[in-house]
Amino acid sequence: MNLAPPVNRAMTQLDRAFFHRTLSVVEAHFNEPKLVGQFIKLYSKDMLKLKKMRNVNKYDDGTRGVLLKDEVHSVEEVPVKLSAEGFRFLQQNKVQLKPYSLTIGYDFWKAEEILGAILPEEFLDEVPSGFTITGHIAHLNLRDEFKPFGELIGQVILDKNPNIRTVVDKVGSIDTVYRTFSMKVLAGDDDLIVEQRESNCVFQFDFSKVYWNSRLHTEHDRLVNTFQQGELVCDVMAGVGPFSVPAGKKRVFVISNDLNPDSFHWMKVNIQRNKVGDYVEPVNVNGRELIQRCLDYASQFDKSHNGGVKYLSKKRKAGEEPIYQFLPVPKFIHHFVMNLPDSALEFLNEFNGIYSSVPEIRRLEGFKLPMVHVYCFEKFSPDEPEPSDEDIQRRIHTRMCRIIDYPLDYDTLQFQLVRKVAPTKPMYRVSFQLPEQVAFKTI
Q: What is the CATH number of the domain that holds 225?
A: 3.40.50.150
Report the distance separating Cα 260 and Cα 177, nearest Å. 8
User: What does DSSP say about strands 335-338 and 232-235: parallel, antiparallel, or unpaired?
Assistant: parallel
Q: Contact, 276 vs 290, CB < 8 A?
A: no
Does the annotation list 259 as a binding residue? Answer: yes
Does the residue 146 lie in any domain? yes
The CATH number that applies at residue 51 is: 3.30.70
pLDDT of residue 107: 95
Q: Write out the residue range of the structural domain in which residue 399 sits.
A: 215-439
- Work out the percent of the chain whose per-residue pLDDT is above 90: 86
365 burial level (CB within 10 Å; 0-12, 13-18, 19+): exposed
Does the residue 12 lie in any domain? no
Counted domains in the chain: 3
pLDDT band at 176 (very low <50, low <70, confident <90, very high): low
Q: Are residues 74 and 221 in the same domain?
A: no
Strand stretches in 116-231, DSSP E: 132-134, 137-140, 166-171, 182-188, 193-198, 201-206
Q: Are residues 292 and 406 in the same domain?
A: yes
Report the distance separating Cα 222 and Cα 118, nearest Å. 42
pLDDT band at 177 (very low <50, low <70, confident <90, very high): low
pLDDT band at 321 (very low <50, low <70, confident <90, very high): confident
Does the annotation list 139 as a binding residue? Answer: no
**Position with higher pLDDT, 260 vs 319:** 260
Q: Are residues 230 and 176 in the same domain?
A: no
Q: Are residues 311 and 420 in the same domain?
A: yes
**Mean pLDDT across the stretch 222-251?**
98
As a whole number, the mean pLDDT across the chain is 94
Q: What are phi and psi of 121, to 5 degrees?
A: -60, -30
Cα 438 vs. chain centroid, distance in angstroms?
36
Report the distance separating Cα 334 and Cα 375, nearest Å. 17
pLDDT band at 249 (very low <50, low <70, confident <90, very high): very high
Report the distance separating Cα 4 and Cα 242, nearest Å. 43
**Mean pLDDT across the stretch 306-335?**
86
Report the distance separating Cα 379 and Cα 76, nearest Å. 64
Residue 392 in this model has a pLDDT that exceeds 80 = yes
Report the distance separating Cα 271 and Cα 279, nearest Å. 9
Does the residue 65 lie in any domain? yes
Closest by CA position to 63, among listed 93, 85, 22: 93
Residue where a domain stops, chosen among 139, 157, 191: 191
Q: Are residues 129 and 99 in the same domain?
A: no
**Mean pLDDT across the stretch 361-376?**
96
Q: Are residues 96 and 165 in the same domain?
A: no
Q: Are residues 269 and 409 in the same domain?
A: yes
Does the annotation list 383 as a binding residue? Answer: no
Q: Are residues 401 and 364 in the same domain?
A: yes
pLDDT band at 324 (very low <50, low <70, confident <90, very high): confident
Q: Are residues 63 and 145 in the same domain?
A: no
Residue 286 in this model has a pLDDT that exceeds 80 = yes
pTM value is 0.85
Q: Are residues 26 and 71 in the same domain?
A: yes
Does the residue 205 lie in any domain? no
Q: Are residues 305 and 224 in the same domain?
A: yes
